[in-house]
Structures are given as structure tokens and as C-alpha cells.
Structure 1
Amino acid sequence: SPPRARSMTTPAGPAAPPPRPPPPRLDPAFDGVLRADPRNPNRCEYFQDRNKRWPFRCDADGHSLLSRLLEVATPVVGSVQAKIDAAHGERASAVVAEGAQIYARKPNMGENDVTWSQAEYGHLGLQKEYVRYKSVQRLTESWACLQRARARGVFRALREGGGGDDEERTPLRVASLGGGPGFELLAARWFFERHYPSYDLDLVSLDLEESWREPALTLGVRFNVWDVNDGEGLERAAGGDVDFAIASYVFKMYMTNETCAKWLGEKLNGDASPLRAVLVVSRDEN
């Protein structure tokens, strides 16, 4: 009789990796914000303005950071929209349109030399536009400022590297002055993760407009109400001593006065103050 066929068993190999989840769906406002540079295939370009008229360029590392930003910013936009829907119901679309007009026209710029008034900052439609279009600007400008500060030795007293699982982390508090939703702090978090991972950051956005609290919390940073003229109340609002502070365009708009100059100078130069540096993000030549 013919021999019986033998059953063959193949040793089980390693399990196939699970399929990668699809990329997150970004807010439509971010369409075209980040793309390959048509003039150089090894570089990318991105836009900070709402009409995408003025391109900036970055390398692959910048592309990775900005891709990460757009993913993180999308739920923040969604949280503001949810707040608009809950507060205004059928008028939600009109509120969003009003905010877009306020953002584009900047009605207080000519008369009062401020981008938007305090009342306008509290407009939920404006906040949605702000999160959409200022997120890229605030992160990229803060990242560049942090790079320059490191190159100039501002962080020379900090330990670079480290951050192992068994290593004890040193607490460090960074505050964004007039920071709104706090995208400057997102830059600080990622910058310290890369260069100073042995520090445990406490990130807090301090702003006069209370309604920025929810976007900041959605972004993963703390928030408290604070007036930039209240230097004595800085530590109380921040929850303790501040090691480093970041001031973006709020510095030009609201802090170029004797009151702010006095308290900043006292904290930066006083022996009793732990404030090591204030990083000012400015697009002005002086």
C-alpha cells in the first residue's frame, strides 16, 4: 500500500504587528498648512497666516514637530467649537463667522495699538480662529526662541540628557505670561523632552481671560487667571516659584510699561527670586 502522507506543521513565527491606526483627522483649517517644499524635496514649508500667503521653511525635524502640533491642536479646536454649540445653539455658525471677522479685521489695532480688546479675546468665535492660526505661530516662534536661548547659555545651569526610568526628576516650573491657550508651553515641553529630559516640568498659562482655561487644559497645561501688571501675584497665580517664563506678543501689546518693567527687573535681578529668565518672543527688530 502507498505510504500515508505526513501532516506538516510549520513552527509558529512571531505574531504579525497590529495594523497601524489611520492618521488622526485634522481640523480642516490645517489643510495645506504643512507640505513638501516644491523647490526642495528635502525640505518642507509651512504657513502661519490664515490665507497661506507667506511660506516658512523647515527640515524633516520641523515637519515632525509641526505634524505633532496639528494633531494636538485639533481637539483644542473641537473643544472650543463644542463650547460655542452649547452656549449659542442655532447661532453657533454666526458666532464662528463673527469671530473670523474679528480675527481678520483686528478692529482695535489702529485706534488702541492692540491686536484685540479684552472683550474680543473672550469671544468664542475669535478663540476658535486664534487656536487654529496662532497655534503654528506660537509653537514655531517659541521653539526658535528656546533654541537661541540654549545656544546663548541661558540654560547652562541645567543638566542635559539623562531622564532614565530610574532617575529622580527635578521639578521645574515654566509659566507663559498672558499665554492664552498655552502653545508656547507645548514648545517648552517638547524642547525639554529633547534636551533636558531629567526635569519634571510644571507648565502653567497665566492670562486675564478666564475662558482660555478649557483650551489650555485640553492642551495638557495648567491655567490660572492673572494680570501681567500684577508682578507680586505671579507666584500665587502660578502655584509656586517660577523658574522660567515665556512672553509672546503680549509683551509688546501689554507689558511695555513702567509697572511691568519694575516687577520684571526686581524678579530677574533680586537675590531672593528664583526666576532665572524671561524669554521674550518678538517679531520686532528692537
Structure 2
Amino acid sequence: MTSVKEQEAIRKLMIFLQEWDNAHKAARSHILDNFIRSNNGKTEPELELEFSQGASLFLARLAAWLRMTYLCAPKQVTFLALFLHPCRRRYIIEFLEIGGVLMLLEILGLNHLKEEDKRESVKLLQLIADAGRKYKELICESYGVRSLAELLATCSSAEAQEEVQILLASLGRGNPKYQNQVYSGLLAVLPHGSPHAQQLALQTLHSMQHLAPLLAVLGSAHPEVQYEGTSRPAAWGQGLLQGEGISALAALRALMEPDNAKR
């Protein structure tokens, strides 16, 4: 039998959910603003206590609204960060079960959206990746590396590019099943990205200690790209001697073949 306090919490939850269900777009944005102010920094148990074990019901509604409207205005993506903190594993799992990763990745490829919106999606993907190896693998299995590499190569916002670099570096660490995929994605940025994108890709490749990108950037006209390609050749050479650069050289050869150069 529920206590009077629990009954009151359930009543407040039902009122809150009914208010959300009946609200129009502007009203929902106002509800979300209030929700963030009231619950930012709370742990998963604290959120469940606040919502009488019903926080998942609100997350489901928020995700459903995102799925229906993100093609036009993905502002609500920002508010999902409250649920998708790595310490709130339960909410991450629930978000993934309804296709959350695919939604966030699709936002990255929508040309009509602002780069700030795409940056927010990258931040959420980073929160998911921070939850552990299997979550990194899920992002990679969903063609996330390709989407992120394309965004790094094509976007003009330095802030967005740097967020993408951080996520790609994260996907390349502690994720052996897809490390080569991350490496190939970074290589693909070199012939097509802006100088800043090339620089960020090379910085990440440095951290992975591969040699092959050096060969691709020695002819660059941009000093910052040449610097990244030549600043630590000794470390790269050591990696190659240990056999780490073999797959990298194969990938680089594929990029430099005439058929690929024409694309």
C-alpha cells in the first residue's frame, strides 16, 4: 500500500505528464527549461524520487518528440543531456532502445540544420560513448565514424570540428574492434577537409601513433598541417617498426589510387 507521500508524488507526476502531452511546441520548450533548472545535477535515484519512479516515462515522451520533430528543429536535443550522463546507465539504455543513436547521427547529415545543432548531437554521442566500450561499438556499428568524419571534413565551425575530434579520439581508444575504422575515417579527412580539419585529424592520428598520414601531408601548402605531419616522426617510426603502420599504409595507398583521387 502506497503512503500519502508516494500518492502525492504520483499525482504530481501524472499532472506533469498530462501538461506535457497537451502542450504545444512553445509550451513544451518552457516545460523543458523549467525541468533543466529544477533537476540539473541530480543523480538517477534523485530523478526517480522526484518523478515517483516515472522519469523514464518523461524520457520516452521527450525521445518521441525528438523523433517526430528533429528534422525541422532539434532544439530539444540539448535537453537530453540531463538523462544521458554516463552515471545514468539506465536512461542511456532506454534511449538506445528507441533508436537514439541513429537519430543523433542522422542530424549530423542534415544540410539545412545549423552546425550548432549538429554540435549538440555530437556532445550527446560523446556522453553515450563515455558510458563504455559496448556503447562505442554501437556508435561505430551505426556508421557513426563515417558520419563524424564527413562532418569534420565539411563543417566550417571550429568548435564543432573540435567536438568531433574529441569523439573520434574517444571511439579510437578502448575500442579495438573498430579502431581501424576510426583510423580510416581520419585518413579520409586529409584529402578533403579544411586545413583546420586536417590538423585535427592529424592530431588524433598522432595519439594513435601511426606513420602513414605523414606521407599524405608533406606536400600541403598549409604550415599548420605540415607541422602536425612532421612534429613527431620518431614516435610514428617506432610504431611502424612495431608493425602498427601496416594497415595504415594499405589504407593510404587506397586513398591515393587514381580512381579514388577522381572522386
With the shorter chain as reference, the TM-score category is under 0.3
* TM-score, scaled to structure 1: 0.26
Larger RCO (CA within 8 A; separation ≥ 6): 1
If each structure's strand is expressed as a fraction of its own residues, which one has the higher value? 1
If each structure's helix is expressed as a fraction of its own residues, which one has the higher value? 2
